[in-house]
């Protein structure tokens, strides 16, 4: 059996779901544009530069979830999926996931974006397993905090390994292991698999992939 792991933002999607979720809430008037729009751009620029403070970002991203009942958040998310996410899913991305599923590979979406935002997207791709940053809940209400280690940079390795262990697997359980990502932030996990694939990569990842002889794949544009 083989293992196939997929990053989400700007990999399977042609957009960043974290960024788009905040923008969606700003456009709806849920979040104040004057305060949140600049911060959203600020954190997005940090991510691209590889300088993101994940704790500071999660405070920004998860606190709004704690201010609203789950039913309202779920309704907004359905709108978000239709308006922002479905148009960002291309045929090549769907075909890539479908190929691995049809080959009988164990597949998972592995993303730093929180599981509230990404859970329905994972299901849209037909994936049964999600490794994501977990927003803590108490009695079904989000607390505004993350639970456990964020699924970011080296944290992705730790979270993937915990997921594999929970099913009785380890890296050596698989003949081949793939990870598909666009971002240099994912170099730790990309370096942990047998078949790293740079998908529409940023400049830093592209240079690394070319030097290392990794596959480069274009799914968007």
**Cα(61)–Cα(58) distance, rounded to whole angstroms?**
5
Share of the chain above pLDDT 90, in %: 86
Q: How far is CA 208 from the centre of its chain?
A: 21
* CATH number for the domain that contains residue 164: 3.40.50.1000
* DSSP percent split of the chain into helix, strand, coil, nearest 5: 55, 20, 25
Q: Tell me the pLDDT of the chain averaged across its residues.
A: 96
Farthest CA pair distance, the chain: 51
Q: Which residue has the higher pLDDT, 18 or 221?
A: 18
Q: How far is CA 129 from the centre of its chain?
A: 12
Residues 14, 60, 112, 213, CA torsion sign: positive
Residues serving a catalytic function are: 7, 9
Q: Which residue has the higher pLDDT, 129 or 35?
A: 129
Confidence class for position 221, pLDDT limits 50, 70, 90:
confident
In this model, does residue 47 exceed pLDDT 90? no
In this model, does residue 44 exceed pLDDT 90? no
* pLDDT tens per residue across span 59-109: 888 999 999 999 999 999 999 999 999 999 999 999 999 999 999 999 999
| Domain residue limits at 166 | 3-217
Confidence class for position 43, pLDDT limits 50, 70, 90:
confident
Q: Output the pLDDT for position 39.
A: 87
The stretch 98-126 carries a mean pLDDT of: 98
| Number of domains into which the chain is organized | 1
């Amino acid at each position: 059996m083989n293992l196939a792991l997929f990053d989400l933002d700007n990999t399977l999607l042609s957009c960043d779901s974290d960024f788009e979720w905040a923008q969606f809430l700003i456009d709806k008037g849920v979040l104040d544009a004057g305060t949140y729009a600049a911060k959203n751009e600020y954190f997005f620029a940090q991510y691209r530069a590889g300088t993101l403070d994940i704790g500071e970002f999660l405070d920004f991203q998860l606190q709004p979830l704690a201010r609203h009942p789950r039913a309202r958040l779920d309704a907004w998310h359905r709108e978000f999926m239709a308006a922002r996410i479905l148009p960002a899913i291309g045929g090549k991305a769907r075909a890539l996931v479908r190929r691995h599923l049809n080959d009988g590979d164990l597949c998972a979406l592995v993303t730093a974006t929180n599981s509230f935002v990404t859970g329905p997207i994972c299901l849209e791709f037909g994936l049964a397993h999600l490794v994501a940053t977990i927003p803590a809940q108490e009695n079904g209400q989000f607390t505004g905090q993350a639970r456990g280690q964020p699924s970011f940079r080296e944290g992705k390795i730790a979270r993937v390994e915990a997921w594999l262990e929970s099913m009785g697997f380890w890296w050596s359980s698989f003949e081949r292991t793939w990870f598909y990502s666009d971002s240099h932030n994912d170099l730790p996990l990309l370096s942990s698999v047998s078949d790293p694939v740079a998908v529409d990569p940023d400049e830093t990842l592209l240079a690394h992939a070319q030097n290392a002889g990794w596959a480069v794949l274009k799914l968007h544009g």
